[in-house]
């Protein structure tokens, strides 16, 4: 729909594809919230695909920085765009799609270990098969983002999870001994 408006009316349009966003004030139904709460309360966590998942986790501050920089860049038509060999991220209209991800998939077990390490508590893990419709791995190619705004998301899992856990404990007034 956005591409159609770009094409028909010349409205510059930028699409953003976020990859597994995490951090303070995130959705409480996401793994980081669920895992943190369960580990603190001694409940088991569900580890799907027996822990063999890989996700391109992206810290919220990196998302915000990317969006801010992209607001300063108006998309332009790609004059080399060709329907016989289309580039799905560009168009002959003023349209561009960017992946915003850490460009570095992390094993789910490493993600869980970072939470355990920060909390100083080992999780009780309930290993489960891959859920129907889920994908084993995500990966964000951010070369266009880097080329166009000179920025790559770069917050490490250790630092991002550390920031989240600090926020979580403060926000929920949890006194960790």
pLDDT in tens, the chain (177 residues): 999 999 999 999 999 999 999 999 999 999 999 999 999 999 999 999 999 999 999 999 999 999 999 999 999 999 999 989 898 899 999 999 999 999 999 999 999 999 999 999 999 999 999 999 999 999 999 999 999 999 999 999 999 999 999 999 999 999 865
CB 32, CB 115: distance < 8 Å: yes
105: nearest Cα among 131, 141, 62, 130:
141
The model's pTM: 0.92
β-bridge mates for residue 107, sequence order: 54
Domain extents in the chain:
2-171
C-alpha to C-alpha distances, 17 to 43, 66, 142, 164, nearest whole angstrom: 33, 11, 10, 22
Could you read off the pLDDT of 129-146 as tens digits, one per residue? Answer: 999 999 999 999 999 999
**What 8-state DSSP symbol labels residue 84?**
T
CATH superfamily of 2-171: NAD(P)-binding Rossmann-like Domain (3.40.50.720)
């Amino acid at each position: 729909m956005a591409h159609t408006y770009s094409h028909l009316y010349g409205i510059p349009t930028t699409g953003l594809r976020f990859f597994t966003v995490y951090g303070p004030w995130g959705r409480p139904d996401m793994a980081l919230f669920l895992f943190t709460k369960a580990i603190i309360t001694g409940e088991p966590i569900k580890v799907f695909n027996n822990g063999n998942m890989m996700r391109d986790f992206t810290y919220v501050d990196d998302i915000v920085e990317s969006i801010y920089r992209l607001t300063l860049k108006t998309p332009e038509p790609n004059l080399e765009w060709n329907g016989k060999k289309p580039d799905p991220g560009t168009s002959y209209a003023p349209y561009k799609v960017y992946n915003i991800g850490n460009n570095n998939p992390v094993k789910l077990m490493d993600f869980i270990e970072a939470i355990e390490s920060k909390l100083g508590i080992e999780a009780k893990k309930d290993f489960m098969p891959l859920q129907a419709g889920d994908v084993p791995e995500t990966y964000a190619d951010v070369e266009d983002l880097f080329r166009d705004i000179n920025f790559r998301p770069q917050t490490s899992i250790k630092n991002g999870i550390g920031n989240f856990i600090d926020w979580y404990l403060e926000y929920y007034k949890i006194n960790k001994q």
